[in-house]
């Protein structure tokens, strides 16, 4: 028996209108190659105010991820873990060797977590939330095939939920509008590295921080000028002078 044509099309329509990872992900993702030194990774985390950075090869394939936790137990800071003698008897030699490499290694490839939890760019917000909760992680890389195209943090997820509630229907062109808005903001010189853009139903939501009020206005104006944008909700904050001095001072 052939099902009525309207039944599958309705299901497809609901799937297409569901907000997905590609709609809320941050595309200006800081990454490092595996040979990056631990010191440079730590410096990047501080400069970008992020808690983790993906490690990728020359083709953009994700090899692992280095988080703040991976850098916590280091001999040079006196925070290296020293298990008790009886607990060490229960550990196998491979686990002890791996722990040693991760605590003493000098590069991102040495200390990174290799079992990376990721999502496809078409994953729904519900799927992303479930993965973050199940694995107790703060962010998840977004892949197209096996290539990194973005990252979704808990904050991005919350912003997506807010945007979806404000405009629940995601149009087919929202993805194109998001890309165009990001390009326009970058061209306007508004410091896109700390911004996140979500588009839902043609409504653009911009979150994050910039250095000056002028940059905030420039970002909003750039977004407003993109074809297909119905309105812009500019939620950008201004970094305090002390924070700017710490981040960009010599």
Residues 94-105 have a mean pLDDT of: 52
Residue 142 — very low, low, confident or very high, per pLDDT cuts 50/70/90?
A: very high
Which tens digit of pLDDT belongs to each residue from 186-243?
888 877 667 889 998 889 999 888 888 899 999 999 999 999 899 999 999 887 776 6
| Distance, C-alpha 206 to centroid of its chain | 15
How far apart CA 181 and CA 177 sit, in angstroms, is: 6
Output the CATH code of domain 167-250: 3.30.1340.30
Token pair for residue 91? 């550990």
Q: Which is more confident, 159 or 63?
A: 63
Contact call for residues 141 and 116 (beta carbons, < 8 A): yes
Which tens digit of pLDDT belongs to each residue from 147-197?
999 999 988 888 888 777 665 455 558 888 998 999 999 888 877 667 889
Q: Which helix (H) or strand (E) holds 130?
A: helix 125-135
How far apart CA 13 and CA 81 sit, in angstroms, is: 52
4-18, 21-35, 76-90, 203-217: the lowest-pLDDT one: 4-18
Give residue 117's pLDDT: 92
Angle (CA) 228-179-147 rounded to 5° is: 150
Residues 77-100 have a mean pLDDT of: 48
Q: Which is more confident, 245 or 138?
A: 138
CATH 3.10.580.10 fits 20-152, yes or no: yes
For the chain, domain boundaries: 20-152, 167-250
> At residue 246, does pLDDT exceed 70?
no
Give residue 132's pLDDT: 93
% pLDDT > 90, the chain: 32
pTM of the model: 0.59
Kindly report the average pLDDT of the chain as a whole number: 78
How far apart CA 155 and CA 193 sit, in angstroms, is: 15
Q: Does the CA dihedral 34-35-38-43 come out positive or negative? A: negative
Give residue 141's pLDDT: 94
How far apart CA 140 and CA 160 sit, in angstroms, is: 15
């Amino acid at each position: 028996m052939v099902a009525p044509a309207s039944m599958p099309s309705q299901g497809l329509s609901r799937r297409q209108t569901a907000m997905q990872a590609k709609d809320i992900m941050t595309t200006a993702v800081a990454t490092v190659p595996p040979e990056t030194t631990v010191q440079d990774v730590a410096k990047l985390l501080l400069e970008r105010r992020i808690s983790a950075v993906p490690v990728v090869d020359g083709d953009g394939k994700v090899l692992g991820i280095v988080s703040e936790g991976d850098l916590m137990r280091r001999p040079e800071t006196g925070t290296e873990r020293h298990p008790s003698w009886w607990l060490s008897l229960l550990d196998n030699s491979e686990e002890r060797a791996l722990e040693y490499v991760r605590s003493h290694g000098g590069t991102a490839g040495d200390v990174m977590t290799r079992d990376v939890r990721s999502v496809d760019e078409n994953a729904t917000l519900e799927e992303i939330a479930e993965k973050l909760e199940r694995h107790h992680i703060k962010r998840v890389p977004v892949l197209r095939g096996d290539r990194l195209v973005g990252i979704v943090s808990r904050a991005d997820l919350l912003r997506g939920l807010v945007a979806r509630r404000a405009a629940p229907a995601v149009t087919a062109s929202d993805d194109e509008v998001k890309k165009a808005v990001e390009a326009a903001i970058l061209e306007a010189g508004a410091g896109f590295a700390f911004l996140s853009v979500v588009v839902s139903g043609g409504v653009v939501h911009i979150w994050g921080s910039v250095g000056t009020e002028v940059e905030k206005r420039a970002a909003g104006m750039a977004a407003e000028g993109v074809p297909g944008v119905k309105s812009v909700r500019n939620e950008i904050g201004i970094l305090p002078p002390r924070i700017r001095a710490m981040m960009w001072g010599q």
